[in-house]
Amino acid sequence: MSFLEDIASFPRSALKQVETQVTTPGGHILVETRVDGSFTQRPVEGKSFGFVGDVKPDFQVVEVRPGLLFGSQDVATNLELLNQYKVTHILNVATGISNVFPDNFIYKTVEILDLPGVEITGARDKGKALVHCNAGVSRAPSIVIGYIMSKEGASFQAVFEELKGLRPAIRPNDGFRQSLVNYEATLMNRNR
């Protein structure tokens, strides 16, 4: 008997029921079970995220220049805070984060993965713009650094240190850092 015939003749009653553990993008752990031909899900209590979860809200807003702010997704979902800072525009560079107040602000969404291999250099006249990503640590500060480098002719290191002084948690990933260093060289060559 061939392997295919063995599989085809295997009795379904000999299979045992299994549960599948699923970790959602938000870190919640669920157990999926098939019951009567359909799947059910139940949360697993007392389990960890499977990674270091960011469970504390981060409402720090950094105003880098007049009209240019950045922060985390928590800031972008807090209408009171956005109004307090007189935000009029929001640049959302997060992935999987929706624009919460489309009737209140002008949004631009450019989903950027926070991975070293992602190129960011391709990525305000009146009002204030908030640039945010998920944590306000890598993508948003990288975009702000590149913007300031372009507008002011400043070096990557100078702008990075300035932002680090305003928000110590920033840490553009290694690929973004390299992109910004390369962008600085491009800007210097353009200005010769």
> Which residues have a catalytic role annotated?
133
* CA 145 vs CA 14, 84, 102, 137: distances in Å: 61, 24, 26, 12
What is the DSSP secondary structure assignment for residue 38, as one 8-state letter?
E
Pairing verdict, β 89-92 and 129-132: parallel
Pairing verdict, β 38-43 and 29-35: antiparallel
Torsion over CA of 128, 134, 136 and 139, rounded to 10 degrees? -90
Residue count of the chain: 192
> What letter represents residue 108's amino acid?
K
Q: For residue 50, report the phi and psi dihedrals to the nearest 5 degrees.
A: 90, -5
Write the DSSP assignment of 52-70 as a string of letters: ----S-----EEEETTEEE
